Structures are given as structure tokens and as C-alpha cells.
Structure 1
Amino acid sequence: MYKYPIEIHHEANSVWATCRDLPEFHAAADTLSELMSESADGIVSALSIYVDQRRAIPKASSPLKNEHVVHLSALILAKIELWNTMIERDMRKADLVRTLNAKPVTVDRLIDFCHSSKLEHVENALLALGKRLSISVEPA
């Protein structure tokens, strides 16, 4: 659902990537290995733009033949679901503050993709919005 495919572009001494699902995403590195690591951070940065602009985060499309897939952490996936649920319900941060009876800074951190929130805090916020977090493990 949120395993974003990226297209790799090769140049003389570097590689860079784009993502058709997230046009705001860009990453560059010297090697493919470094690029894959940088790509996860680049996607997190792109997701922050969606929050800043109060837009829903798009689901990932199926990868094309030559694309690589960037897997995001369970925490980031949970935050995407929380954010998209808020957007679907036309909720603002203040609405979530009231719903959770929490401090504004707590809610800011829950929807900040760069903040290392505790997964159970995001899970509790989703539960308050009528969603249950479910995690599965699959082969790498």
C-alpha cells in the first residue's frame, strides 16, 4: 500500500531517483546502496510536504519492471494512516488534540514523520479515530 516504487537514474559518478507517486521526492547518492538508504529519508521529507499543505498522502502504485521499491518503517506507515484518516474526516490538529485530550505538541509529534514517536502512541490515536493498527511480517 505504501511501498513506493522509485526510478533510478544513472549519471557519470552518481545515481539519483524519482518517484511517480510522490513528485516532491528526490534523492541522490554516489552508489545504488547509498541511494536506497537516502530514498527512505527522501520519502519521509516528501510526506512532510503533504502534511504542510494539508493534502492526503497518495498510496503507492505497483512497481514497473525497472523500478526499485522503498519500504518504510511501521511507524511511518502508521503515521501515514493517521494523517490520511484526519484528512478524510476534515480534521485539523486541534480536533485531534481535543479527541485525544492531549497537548498540541503531542499531536504535532504524532503527525511529524521526522519525529520518532512511540508506535503505541500512534496506535492509540488511530484507535480513538476508530481504526485498528495491524502489522504483518512477510519475507524480505
Structure 2
Amino acid sequence: MMFEYPVEIARDDDGSYLVTFPDVPEAVTFGETEADALARAVDALETALMGYMADWRPLPPASAANGRPTVMPDLLSTLKLAVYAAMRERDWRKADLARAMALNPRQIDRLLDLRHASTVAQLDQALRLCGRRVVMETAAVAA
């Protein structure tokens, strides 16, 4: 699952830039410049996706960018979202992953918390236990 979401950027009445996510309507932010607004958009996206996770809802799929700018969570958050999506796919709750990893359920809460610094090794292990693996790709950054 990819977590690179297209955004709409519009000039607001007060001259600031408003950023919205068509696929994640809960994620909205602004900035004084377009670059500032896009930088803030990462936090808005992660915060909205944490709400989906807290409510145990499926994560919204990202639509095609079709020339629009895109925003994605940071690398660690992307791995955590992948674990969450894999758990839902497998119909596992946090307790199931805790048992499979031989961890305390509170540790699974931290593992899935986008604001907590987990290790890549733990997230890789969780994904493998859920029947998934990480495939990494890099891409050029738009100038």
C-alpha cells in the first residue's frame, strides 16, 4: 500500500495557502507560503491517519496524483501505517500482534503510535509476522 497522497493547494482569502487532501478530508492545513503549507501538510496527514487508526478504520487509499503535488508521512510513520494495514488485512487486533511478537500490548500501542520512535527492526518483524515484507524504492525529488 502506498501512502503518497495528492493535495490541493489554494490561495486563501487572507493570502495564506490552504492545503487539503481529497482522499483524507480530515487533513487540512495552511501556511504563509506554498512551501510552508506543504511542509505542514505532513503533520496534518499523519494526525488524520492516526485518527483512522484510533477508530480502527481502514486507511484511505491514495488516488493518482494527476499532476498535483503529493505528500507522504515520514519513513517511520509509513512503516507503522503498513503494519496497521497488514494487521487489518489479516484481521488481527493489537493483542494478536502482541502474542505473535511476544510483547506486552502496550508495546504494540507504541509500535503503532506515529509519534513514538520505534525501531525499523521491530516494524520489519511485525510486517513479516503479518505476512508482508518491506520493498524499498527511492525516487527523485521534484525540484
Query: TM-score surpassing 0.5?
Result: yes
Query: How many angstroms does 1:78 deviate by?
Result: 1.4
| SS at 1:8 equivalent | strand
In 1, Cα distance between the equivalents of 2:90 and 2:131?
12
In structure 2, the partner of 1:96 is 97
- Larger relative contact order (CA 8 Å, sep ≥ 6): 1
In 1, Cα distance between the equivalents of 2:7 and 2:84?
22
Q: Does 1:49 align with 2:46?
A: no
Alignment of 1:81-92 (within 5 A): 81-92=82-93
TM-score of the two chains, using structure 2 as the length reference: 0.90
Extract unaligned runs of 5+ from structure 2. Answer: none
Extract unaligned runs of 5+ from structure 1. Answer: none
In 2, Cα distance between the equivalents of 1:68 and 1:8?
8
Letter of the aligned partner of 1:2 in structure 2?
F
Deviation beyond 4 Å, 4+ runs, structure 1:
none
Aligned residue-pair number: 139
In structure 1, the partner of 2:35 is 33
Contact 1:47 1:113 in 2 (8 A): no
Q: Identity percentage over the alignment?
A: 31
TM-score of the two chains, using structure 1 as the length reference: 0.92
Q: Deviations over 1:38-79 (max 9, x none)?
A: 0001000011011111111122111134x2111332222211
Q: Does 1:117 align with 2:118?
A: yes
